[in-house]
A and B are shown apart, each in its own frame.
Chain A
Amino acid sequence: MDFKKLLLRIADIYRFIANVFKELVSSPLEIKEILRQGYFVGNHSLFLITFTSFLAGIVFTKQSRPSLASFGAESWLPSLVSQAVVRSLGPLITGLICAGKLGSNIGAELGSMKVTEQIDAMEVSGTRPFSYLVISRIAATTIALPLLVIYADILALLGSYLMVHFFNNTGFRLYFNEASSVISYLDIFSSLIKSLFFGFAIGFVGSYAGYNSQNGTTGVGKAANVAVVVSMLLIFIIDLLSLQIVNLFRR
């Protein structure tokens, strides 16, 4: 991509972001469509999140246990796992799964609507497709991600508890007392705020890639691909930035 094209693309992204915020402020929210999209977000990712976060809890516990045991610090396992899950593992797993599952779906759906002139048809009938298609999707992913992260955290901790119980015969109450004792409000809020940004990034990138797709079916595939790759990249960048910001508060 030459420099001129890069500048044009940046200007285009800027215009898209400006339109998103303009529509959010100036147009009434499409509550029904946001709820429909929210249901779709949950429905499409819940099974995968359940499965992966539960397994992640098991695997993480099983892998950490020998290291802690060698220091005689096996009792720290619940605290270690809960900190890792709430601060990073839960949001990251949820974000990456949603980026793959929802990002590609939004990109491909809007992309195919674009190349089959369905978006143009909405445009020429004066039905404001941007608000209906883009804002509703971005709002749905932004709202749904924190909820899914909470769900993923619980499932991962449950997986971890089963492992700890299996090896040490630790009780449910004891495990969760240990696990929650090291979790601060800062951990919870930073995790939720971070996941809000993850959701926004997934919805935004998917919508942008789909809404601006070109060149027929090839463009649709490209839009889905870009949606996944870029939103995954953004998730890691947001994660890194949020870590820096939260560390400032921790000091």
Chain B
Amino acid sequence: MTTSTETTADANQQDVVASLRHVKKSFGNNDVLKDISFDLHAKENLVILGRSGTGKSVLIKCMVGLIKPDSGDINVLGYDVKSLPPKELNEVRKQVGFSFQGSALYDSMTVRENLEFPLKRNLKIYDKKELNERVMSSLQNVGLERAVDQMPAELSGGMRKRIGIARTLILNPKIMLYDEPTAGLDPITSSEINELINQVREKFNTSSIIITHDISCARETSDRIIAMVQGHTRAEGTFDQLKQTKDPDLEPFFKY
């Protein structure tokens, strides 16, 4: 196990798909991110583990330009996200799937329309047959073909998460960012979502960052874990390595 924020710099740079260097972000007097650095490697499931309010979600929102960091460099798929003009930033965003904590399904649209929306808007696909094929294939990936004509309000929490993931997968992203994918779900549904995250990696060859405070999610999905405490990266390693930690801020995670 390593305990320095700089250790990722030693990693193999060839297969790095995203890298963050010395990223800082404050909201007023509240320093949310304090010098965060790490790399995401190709086909890797990287879990960012930490308690609520440690800045995990802010971190991935910085990666897609939803939030601008105060300082530091963010490189995603070879692009410097911080300095990209809006048009080019959109091109990068199309290659990055973002699964929101609350699913963020468009609640005035059916599931089908939710999935068709990025296809029509980004890929300019309007052919009904092609749209239907892509929508059904994406729903098949998450095992929810039957929900195609339902409204988001009619779906359970777990189904909404799956549809949210299907909507991001429909554009074949290279990187997936999951914001608390199992938050608010029962253990069985959580386990199904974890399995889905692993399946997505296998099937789509995606690299993923999974933001979570759920230790089972971290155990089931991670190749590597970065533990965050109060805006800092406190430790990094595999699940089994981190399990041995004696850090008083991290130890409680692994007791449950």
User: Taking beta carbons and an 8 Å cutoff, which residues of A are in contact with B?
Assistant: 109, 113, 116-118, 120-128, 132
Q: Are B100 and A126 in contact (CB under 8 A)?
A: no
Q: Are A124 and B96 in contact (CB under 8 A)?
A: yes
Cβ < 8 Å to A, chain B residues 101-151: 101-102, 104-108, 117-118, 121-122
- Give min CB distance, A28 to chain B, whole Å: 11
**Nearest CB to that of B67 among chain A residues?**
A120
Q: Are B107 and A118 in contact (CB under 8 A)?
A: yes
- Give min CB distance, B220 to chain A, whole Å: 25
Q: Are A125 and B107 in contact (CB under 8 A)?
A: no
Q: Are A117 and B121 in contact (CB under 8 A)?
A: no
Contact partners of A116 in chain B: CB under 8 A: 102, 104, 107
Contact partners of B105 in chain A: CB under 8 A: 118, 121
User: Taking beta carbons and an 8 Å cutoff, which residues of B are in contact with A?
Assistant: 61, 64, 66, 90-91, 93-94, 96, 98, 100-102, 104-108, 117-118, 121-122, 164, 167-168, 171
List 26 A-B pairs, Cβ < 8 Å.
A113-B106, A116-B102, A117-B100, A117-B101, A117-B102, A117-B104, A118-B106, A120-B66, A120-B100, A120-B104, A121-B100, A121-B164, A121-B167, A124-B96, A125-B93, A125-B94, A125-B98, A125-B118, A125-B167, A125-B168, A125-B171, A126-B91, A127-B118, A127-B121, A128-B90, A132-B121
Contact partners of B104 in chain A: CB under 8 A: 116-118, 120-121
Tell which of B90, B101, B102, B108 touches A126, judged by Cβ atoms closer than 8 Å. Answer: B90
Q: Are A126 and B107 in contact (CB under 8 A)?
A: no
Q: Are A124 and B122 in contact (CB under 8 A)?
A: no
Assembly CA distance A250 to B152 (angstroms): 56
- Most central of A117, A118, A121 by chain B CB within 10 Å: A121
Contact partners of A124 in chain B: CB under 8 A: 64, 66, 93, 96, 98
- Given A117-B102, A120-B100, answer yes or no on A127-B64 (Cβ-Cβ < 8 Å): no
Contact partners of B106 in chain A: CB under 8 A: 113, 118, 121-122
Q: A109-B108, A125-B94 are in contact. List 11 more A-B contacts (CB 8 A).
A: A116-B104, A117-B100, A120-B66, A120-B104, A121-B100, A121-B167, A122-B106, A124-B96, A125-B121, A127-B118, A132-B121
- Given A116-B107, A118-B106, A118-B107, answer yes or no on A127-B117 (Cβ-Cβ < 8 Å): yes
**Nearest CB to that of B95 among chain A residues?**
A126
Contact partners of B94 in chain A: CB under 8 A: 125-126
- Give min CB distance, A180 to chain B, whole Å: 43
Assembly CA distance A125 to B121 (angstroms): 9
Contact partners of B168 in chain A: CB under 8 A: 125
- Give min CB distance, B130 to chain A, whole Å: 18
- Most central of B93, B96, B121, B167 by chain A CB within 10 Å: B121
- Give min CB distance, B22 to chain A, whole Å: 23
Assembly CA distance A132 to B108 (angstroms): 14
Assembly CA distance A109 to B93 (angstroms): 25
Q: Are B66 and A123 in contact (CB under 8 A)?
A: yes
Contact partners of A121 in chain B: CB under 8 A: 98, 100, 104-106, 164, 167
Assembly CA distance A116 to B189 (angstroms): 22
- Give min CB distance, B174 to chain A, whole Å: 14
Assembly CA distance A212 to B91 (angstroms): 24
Contact partners of B93 in chain A: CB under 8 A: 123-126
- Give min CB distance, A68 to chain B, whole Å: 51
| Shortest beta-carbon contacts, A-B, top 8 | A126-B90, A121-B104, A127-B121, A126-B93, A117-B104, A124-B98, A126-B94, A124-B64
Assembly CA distance A127 to B90 (angstroms): 8
Contact partners of B107 in chain A: CB under 8 A: 116, 118
- Given A117-B104, A118-B106, A120-B66, answer yes or no on A126-B122 (Cβ-Cβ < 8 Å): yes
Assembly CA distance A113 to B108 (angstroms): 10
Contact partners of B66 in chain A: CB under 8 A: 120, 123-124
- Give min CB distance, B67 to chain A, whole Å: 10
Contact partners of B167 in chain A: CB under 8 A: 121, 125
Assembly CA distance A125 to B96 (angstroms): 8
Assembly CA distance A123 to B89 (angstroms): 10
Contact partners of A122 in chain B: CB under 8 A: 106, 117
Contact partners of A125 in chain B: CB under 8 A: 93-94, 98, 118, 121-122, 167-168, 171
Contact partners of A128 in chain B: CB under 8 A: 90, 121
- Give min CB distance, A75 to chain B, whole Å: 53
Assembly CA distance A109 to B109 (angstroms): 13
Contact partners of A123 in chain B: CB under 8 A: 66, 93
Contact partners of A127 in chain B: CB under 8 A: 117-118, 121-122
Assembly CA distance A122 to B121 (angstroms): 10
- Give min CB distance, A35 to chain B, whole Å: 15
